Structure 1
């Protein structure tokens, strides 16, 4: 059977595959292709039936992994993990196979396992930029930051045009407080892809931590032209405004924290103060962000 060209529209391709299956119902490659067509149309639930049949006929590594991926997309995590474990017992001796295993391990949140699989992939193909990149990401997720930086550095050395790898390298450098380097790397990513909002954010974040708040503000303001309402960036911008002494705009922008990393307390049966007059009323002040908001040094002497 000839593979379906990506230039052929999905409806035509599906008709061709169904014609093949009408003549040969147990044609595993045709069943797999049918499942892939449904996946290409972002309809994973419809891909399940042909892929299940394909695995019963040909329980190969590739077929089990594709079914695992599809089940996971459908929210059937336990069943997807079962096929993933089955595939792990028959991984072919190839870098691409271990790379696929790493990607699926990431999907399950098994970042330490993913790092192990990516390392195995590199044994076959040590010059694969994409594998070094994903290895770096998995290491970063397991707090192996130094090792992650080394992996990202290999990724950008092998593929210096990959802005995403530069972005992740800047994030890892920031984790270690290496903000000078993080800012330079983020700026490099921005130059490679001016539309990459994460590059702008990482650049501004590094400048902010270097106490170059006015420069950070210019970066954040430029990034807002791309994505005006990105909470993580607006919250960082609020900090830059406050550090610059612009308290009026800074405190207003600080409200973005509720849409980023914080949520209002729900154990207080009272409405939030919105700035209205308080004559004749009481206001409760509480430690919104922990004891650092309310701590004061003990008296001495």
Structure 2
């Protein structure tokens, strides 16, 4: 209840840096609790406790955004309003990512490798070099896009079934990206002052549109979920709510296509 009282959707939309700091606080508490109490399973419990702290804000925001569907008729204005929530969701994600990166980089090596082992193993599984062959490049693009669409579908389903369930997937991704960035810096040759922005740019150039897309999908699923609970789909606003959700999903798909293109053609050039 203490963490829940720190902010609300209206405040979060206006003071995004507060949300960024909350992301750092939520995830740092999760790391500390996991190391002290659940060291053997820390890779999973870090995600669990971060999600646990974030759910009240996420769910209250989804309810707040669904309320806008009932009040605002103009679809363009409605998307603009949703953009405020999506922006602070991204700030929350960045807070998680910065926190996980710092913990992974600053903890003793044997501790960090144990705590973030699951994330490191996941990176090794999904990493595959992109060759210059046109067919291989197209295959890589298709594979990345298909994988990202699967994640989007899971965000939709989790958000619909659990309201704020999509935050679990996004917290997991924050840990993956954080570990990837730190590993890139450690493996690099040259000044840290150059490697840090290089690593951030390498992963964020496609990571930002991906995460934005997942939040759009999560918001769409969450809006429908809240509408079902409130019986708003039985009212005259049902068509408007569904159209708004479809617009969010379509926008998310466009963002994922852009992200996949950037990951295949731009990110590999930043070595």
Same fold (TM over 0.5): no
Asked which structure has the greater CA Rg, the reply is 1
TM-score range, shorter chain: under 0.3
Q: Give me the TM-score of the superposition, normalised by structure 2.
A: 0.23
Q: Give me the TM-score of the superposition, normalised by structure 1.
A: 0.21
Higher helix share: 2
Higher RCO (C-alpha 8 Å, min separation 6): 2
